[in-house]
Structure 1
């Protein structure tokens, strides 16, 4: 009897911790991160995306990029459809995903990532240089070799398919430039 009671208490404790850890709030404090960082998988309807500092979101470069974005992104075993954003949608923002998949959120014109320093390890994907920042459940990639910074937040299980798709578009729309951690 005591073992059964202990099992019930353990299960309740695990469930409580799971609920508390899945609050939907970003724990990184990264302004490029999606808020909520990990929306509940069954969320549907327009996606609510909190505004962040994106001083160049209305720039000509961001308007051109948003106009060229694809209707879908490649993820493991699926294509993620473009997602409608809830009003008021932050300028320079786009999203992909579905009711059963945490969203991929692109923000154009964001501030320089504070992690970008002369010794930063960058990843080049399809001719675009990215700085990545991993969180406990997601990753944020930031384009650092174009006239505007572009961040993409996505669940870690997305792999690099969305980043490859977006790199192709970014390479075709935004001209490359030297990485400058001081700009």
Structure 2
């Protein structure tokens, strides 16, 4: 009969172990849930902050009257059109090749692309004794393309700077004269 109390004490120990393990698992799950909730709250707070920031960034646009908004839109359209079709800013390949063939040894085609240093070098050395002139016969088209691309990029940068400056002045709070 001594086996009966031992088996019940073993059962009780096993039951106590089982309950302790379940308690540890429950505690771990509660910690994971708390971490998950904290992470969710953090993400929700971050998204709320981003939303508030976006609303703040768009607030000046919403404060414009319809006439002011239309004027700003028209000005931006005009700047883009000007940057895409600048008056007299881009260089024509036909004119460039004419200058290269007729006055190339004197560097006229280099001056046309506003390459003042190499234009002067071509003028003083007669197109690097003709070798630079021959090189330009083959590469001048790409030189013109590069000049035009750089010119367009410069205009777009200026238009963006002007738009940013006008946005900054529009965003500034209006002060009433004292």
Q: TM-score range by the shorter chain?
A: under 0.3
Task: Indicate the structure with greater strand content.
Answer: 1
Task: Indicate the structure with greater helix content.
Answer: 2
Larger RCO: 1 or 2 (CA < 8 Å, sep 6+): 1
Larger radius of gyration between Structure 1 and Structure 2: 2
Instruction: Report the TM-score, using the length of structure 1 for normalisation.
Output: 0.23
